[in-house]
């Protein structure tokens, strides 16, 4: 477990979780070894706090309004990844539109039109890329079969991580 130690004139050790970071406030005289022991004893509690902290940060991200700049950046990322994954999958959509969608992050129609949810502008680049790849793979497999997921994985080894993160946010 990683943590940052801040030494000061205090009598006891305090552990704090803030912005995804573990901060240990410790008296000046205690040894690094002792601090490590205290942290290890509290590991379960720290992990729980880290998870809570992560959840709060994620909720804040989900609620943030989209700026014009973010929308422009989203368009850029969508175009670049359509090109990149279009080449590697060997399928290109007829049209890609970015719009507000209520129930999905992306969609792909039988006419080979792909739509990407505008709200993805709040997410990090890798997640946007995953959604684009997902829809491009639907150009080959119009379902969520084993073949479909294999194709996704071939093009993005750690896609499961992004899929999981996306599920935590509402569309
Ligand atoms: Zn799908």
60-94: pLDDT as tens digits? 776 778 888 999 999 999 999 999 999 999 999 99
According to DSSP, the β-strands at 21-27 and 95-99 are unpaired
| Residue 163 CA to ligand 1 centre (angstroms) | 11
Residue 86 CA, ligand 1 centroid: distance in Å: 16
Q: What is the pLDDT of residue 148?
A: 97
Q: Give φ, ψ of 25 to 5 degrees.
A: -95, 125
Radius of gyration of the chain (CA): 22
Q: 112 alpha carbon to ligand 1 midpoint, in Å? A: 13
The Cα diameter of the chain in Å comes to 70
Q: How far is the CA of 12 from the centre of ligand 1 (A)?
A: 52
Query: In angstroms, what is the span from residue 122 Cα to ligand 1's centroid?
Result: 20
Give percent of the chain with pLDDT exceeding 90.
78
| Terminal-residue alpha carbon distance, the chain | 33
Domain architecture of the chain: domains with CATH = 4-63 (no CATH), 68-167 (3.30.2010.10)
Residue 141 CA, ligand 1 centroid: distance in Å? 9
pLDDT, residue 93, reads 97
Q: What's the CA-to-centroid distance between 117 and ligand 1, angstroms?
A: 13
pLDDT over 70 at 171, yes or no: no
Q: What is the dihedral of CA 57, 58, 60, 61, to 10 degrees?
A: 120
- pLDDT tens figures, 14-54: 999 988 899 999 999 999 999 999 999 999 999 999 989 88
pLDDT score recorded for residue 60: 75
Output the CA 68–ligand 1 centroid distance in Å. 28
Give me ligand 1 centre to Cα 1, in Å. 36
CA–centroid distance, 67 to ligand 1, in Å, is: 27
* pTM confidence score: 0.70
Q: Is the dihedral of CA 125, 134, 103, 58 positive or negative?
A: negative
Task: Read off the pLDDT of each residue in 147-152 and give the average, rounded to a whole number.
Answer: 98
């Amino acid at each position: 477990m990683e943590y940052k130690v801040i030494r000061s004139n205090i009598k006891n050790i305090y552990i704090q979780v803030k912005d995804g970071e573990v901060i240990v406030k410790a008296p000046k005289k205690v040894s690094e070894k002792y601090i490590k022991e205290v942290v290890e004893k509290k590991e379960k509690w720290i992990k729980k706090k880290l998870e809570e902290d992560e959840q709060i940060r994620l909720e804040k991200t989900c609620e943030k309004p989209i700026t014009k700049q973010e929308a422009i950046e989203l368009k850029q990322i969508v175009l670049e990844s359509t090109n990149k994954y279009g080449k590697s999958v060997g399928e290109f959509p007829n049209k890609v539109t970015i719009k507000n969608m209520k129930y999905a992050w992306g969609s792909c129609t039988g006419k080979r039109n792909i739509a990407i949810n505008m709200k993805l502008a709040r997410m990090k680049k890798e997640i946007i890329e995953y959604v684009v790849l997902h829809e491009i793979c639907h150009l080959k497999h119009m379902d969520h079969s084993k073949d479909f997921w294999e194709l996704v994985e071939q093009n993005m080894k750690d896609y499961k991580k992004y899929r999981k993160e996306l599920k935590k946010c509402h569309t």
